[in-house]
Amino acid sequence: MQRNADRTRTRILAAATEEFAARGIAGARVNRIAEVAGCNKAMLYAYFGSKDGLFDAVYTAAVDTYLAEVGFDTADLPGYAGRVFDYFEEHPEHQRLNIWYRLERPDGTALEAIVAVNKSRLGDLDQAQRSGVVPGNFTPIELLALLQAIATSWSSMNPEYGASAPSRASRREAVVEAVRRLLSS
């Protein structure tokens, strides 16, 4: 029984990830998610409480996977930016979840997973600056904002650029080089 319950939960999360990435929180339809997951709406609400609760579960799972995959290494921030770039190239649906989240929850409803990791990274950057591993040109929070913006620079471009986009390898190298320059003394 437990394994069946886990499988149902996993199927709901997969269907909900696709639906939320395509349509956002307001636009997502719980009926459609239940149908794709092969369960009924009552079961979905039993697991996740509400559509907002389901979005939080989907987004938290996506953030956890992202954090585990890209890691964070103050001794090699250009390499970190390259991994973030790779992650969003390979998971465009995660980038869409990020953007819906910012649009539809502009005032925060902060996710614990993000709050905790930001705090930890800001502490790491502060420590790395104190010990001279990272130059002190920017405050930790400004550096983190710039790193994330540069690493996702292409995915946040206007769709009008699409046709003339350089190769993935070339865009990746531009991202890594931009972070190198950010840190040069």
List Cβ neighbours of 52 (8 Å cut-off, separation of 6 or more).
25
* CA distance from start to end of the chain: 60
Tokens (6 digits) for 56: 């939080």
Among 24, 76, 89, 126, binds a copy of itself (CB under 8 A): 24
Nearest to 34 by CA among 22, 26, 45: 45
CB of 67 to a copy of itself, least distance (A): 12
Residue 30 in the binding site for a copy of itself (CB under 8 A): no
Long-range contacts at 29-33 (CB < 8 A, ≥ 24 apart): 30/54
CA distance 77 to 146: 11
Stretch in the footprint of a copy of itself (CB under 8 A) among 2-10, 76-84, 126-134, 136-144: 136-144
Residue 132 in the binding site for a copy of itself (CB under 8 A): no
Burial string for 16-32 (b: 16+ CB within 10 Å, else e) reads bbbbbbeebbeebebee
Could you tell me what percentage of the chain is helix, strand and coil, using 3-state DSSP and rounding each to the nearest 5?
A: 80, 0, 20
Residues 154-183 that bind a copy of itself (CB under 8 A): 154, 156-162, 164-166, 170-171, 174, 177-178, 181-182
Residue 150 in the binding site for a copy of itself (CB under 8 A): yes
Residue 146 in the binding site for a copy of itself (CB under 8 A): yes
Comparing CB distances to a copy of itself, the nearer of 5 and 149 is 149
Comparing CB distances to a copy of itself, the nearer of 19 and 39 is 19
Contacts with a copy of itself, residue ranges (CB under 8 A): 23-24, 26-27, 96, 98-103, 105-111, 114-115, 118, 137-139, 141-142, 145-146, 148-150, 152-154, 156-162, 164-166, 170-171, 174, 177-178, 181-182, 184
